[in-house]
A and B are shown apart, each in its own frame.
Chain A
């Protein structure tokens, strides 16, 4: 078993075991209703985590996504309130903005040769500030098209609702899987994560790839913002603080190595669902407090980071032994 697949398998096993534990205690949790809610409630996180997965696979990090989602919500609400544009046109404009924003950060990272951490930190401040500038207060969205989007769902057997935004999330994951594992761009992303120097030697256009990676993350953050605004039907510039952290956690729990170069987009979906499951369990239990979510996620993070560190060492030792 290679060092790449083991974390993914561990992720899936942990998720299934956790689900089994939940089921044994609350049989109701194995209903399509719960599953549908799990997808709907975590749709925004799943979408943004797909973008984050690509970024992390390339060895980078994007701290700006939470702020971008918040900006997206405010942008949509203000545009719908102040202009007569159709929501779809607003969505398109928003996605163009967030994609360009991500591309700009990618460009800065490459041109300045500075750590992505600090560049996207600036992006985080900037996007949050831009959101504030549009509106300091919460803006409700009152739009018939929104009600339509919100209520669009497919009724699964067992009366579970597979909502539109849940489907968008699943489609995003599928798109992410194709991009990461089935395109030349995806291979270049893995190559960057494996080592910038080697990647350059092998012919990767590092600058272009970096710009595209962060543009993709910006696009996904914008899409996540749309989904979140549909989910809440309102916007608030202070919303989504810390989402970047949750997205990073989901990626790592999903078995992607935080230093880049190895991982699966599908794992990220499982990571998101695992985090959602913990929350659902706490809701079902009723007596457990919400902070256990953070503690358990922290413990899972530790587990996966140590697991990957251990695998890496084992790998090096095995190769040294073979040499």
Chain B
């Protein structure tokens, strides 16, 4: 084996990010690393490249134990990494990027011609036709990725880690990148490839390792691996026992006339293809799909974070303006985003202030929410959602991730919206709180008549709470299940590929 990782463990305050993970990489192999957000992929990569210090475990490269303390050290050992973004500097030329730190120097001055020659040499064999004197930023992302790969290979030359390199490439560009990857593999490099696109994994990877919740679930040859099984590995079936009873609950018959919100042809270029969606009063609509499939984009378009370019939204009282979050809130919408750290919490403000924030924003600056009312709200939701905090005045940034998520949820529940969008509401939350949040969704929909759109990668969770499940794939809505048709295996098939999708699929 070129690279072996044995029982790698890494903890962050409150979470076990990697739990005794094993991983092998052979020379001349393309190895895909799969898993949903928070599965531990990037933590694994960062421990491997020295960006994080591991708690325990062994790394061996070419049989020798290694322990890189920084990405630069890892690079010198032979492990090069290309991230999806933040790779090279678009404001430098291609040649400067390629030769950075090793520019040919004469009398302290960089030899322009020598640098150009060196750069062109490095790029030869990658099939690129670029002028290395131009700014890197003037080329497409695909070219930039390949330049980054060329640099990483030139610097390290044993292991190449590609972190979602195809996320923003089109089909032709992806093919170009794969050609490069195949060539490097054939030259004897070990390539680790992280992607969410299963088609690509099957196309390029020799073996697959799936991580979930910080554990290695499986490592298998791609050739013999059933697509459905792979998705099962990724999404897991942990919740089965816990919510089995919820799944058997008869879903209310969908009555189109009772549908309250109608979205027609809503879409935004580069985010999500136009789709139709109707949501009934008290209905829970689930949105299933892999990371990067367009599920979060659907939510952001509906909430005006990235406003729709086409399409209309209607409610019983008339057309709705969803051009900004403010407008969406005025229309009675709420949105608990997936990335709570950057989009959800306001870290330095207290739990009380975070919960009152949206309510206060809607009331306007001139009508402050009385302190007594704020305290009441905070106390109520700390109790109802079991938010673990010493008191309501603690800064939200000091809470654990799960509790931060509950604070964001509390913020929107306090608004009593008619349509609440929850993007991965249970990620990173302990099992008890998990069930609690699902129960809460039931409660607000059945009792208060709130409509909810739940985005989740845990299918069991969707099956448990949703009256209807929509499947998103490749940036468009591809299937819809209602009533008894909502079942994990059917959904999984629809996520996997069109040809194995459920028979009652309706293409959007």
Contact = CB atoms under 8 A, between A and B. Distances in A.
B100 A203 contact: yes
B89 A198 contact: yes
Given A323-B168, A323-B169, A323-B170, A187 B86 contact: no
A193 B91 contact: yes
A183 interface: yes
A53 to B, nearest CB: 15
Given A183-B108, A187-B100, A203-B72, A194 B89 contact: yes
B267 to A, nearest CB: 15
Contacts of A319: 137, 140-141
Given A198-B86, A315-B137, A203 B101 contact: yes
B71 A201 contact: yes
Contact of A183 (B88, B90, B109): B109
A199 B100 CA distance: 10
A202 B96 CA distance: 11
Contacts of B86: 195, 197-198, 201
Nearest to B173: A323
Interface in A48-79: none
Interface in A22-36: none
Interface in B246-286: 270
Interface string A1-30: 011100000000000000000000000000
A102 interface: no
Interface residues of B, number: 29
B199 to A, nearest CB: 18
Interface in B166-184: 168-170
Main secondary structure of the interface of A (DSSP, over half): helix
Interface string A153-172: 00000000000000000000
Contacts, number: 73
B239 interface: no
B138 interface: yes
B313 interface: no
A198 B88 contact: yes
A262 B101 CA distance: 19
Interface string B80-123: 00000011111110001100110101001110100000000000
A219 interface: no
B135 interface: yes
B89 A184 contact: no
Interface in A178-212: 178, 182-184, 187, 190-191, 193-195, 197-199, 201-204
A30 B46 CA distance: 62
Given A2-B135, A183-B108, A203-B100, A323 B141 contact: yes
Contacts of B109: 178, 182-183
B134 interface: yes
Contacts of B89: 190-191, 194-195, 198-199, 202, 261
B140 A184 contact: no
Main secondary structure of the interface of B (DSSP, over half): loop
A320 interface: yes
A2 B92 contact: no
Interface residues of A, number: 27
Nearest to B144: A319
B412 to A, nearest CB: 30
A2 B131 CA distance: 13
A261 B141 contact: no
Contacts of A198: 86-89
A88 interface: no
Contacts of A323: 140-141, 168-170, 270
Contacts of B112: 182
Contacts of B105: 183-184
Interface string B53-90: 00000000000000000011000000000000011111
Interface in A251-286: 261-262
A262 B90 CA distance: 10
A199 B170 CA distance: 28
A322 interface: yes
Contact of A187 (B90, B92, B137): B92
Given A195-B86, A199-B89, 14 more contacts: A182-B112, A184-B105, A187-B96, A190-B89, A190-B91, A190-B96, A191-B100, A194-B91, A202-B88, A203-B101, A319-B140, A319-B141, A323-B141, A323-B168
Interface of B: 71-72, 86-92, 96-97, 100-101, 103, 105, 108-110, 112, 134-135, 137-138, 140-141, 168-170, 270
Q: Would you list the 8 A-B pairs with minimal beta carbon distance, nearest first?
A: A194-B89, A261-B91, A194-B91, A203-B101, A323-B168, A182-B109, A322-B140, A2-B135
22 contacts: A2-B135, A2-B137, A3-B137, A182-B110, A183-B105, A183-B109, A184-B101, A184-B110, A187-B92, A187-B103, A191-B89, A197-B86, A198-B87, A198-B88, A201-B87, A202-B89, A203-B72, A315-B137, A319-B140, A319-B141, A322-B141, A323-B170
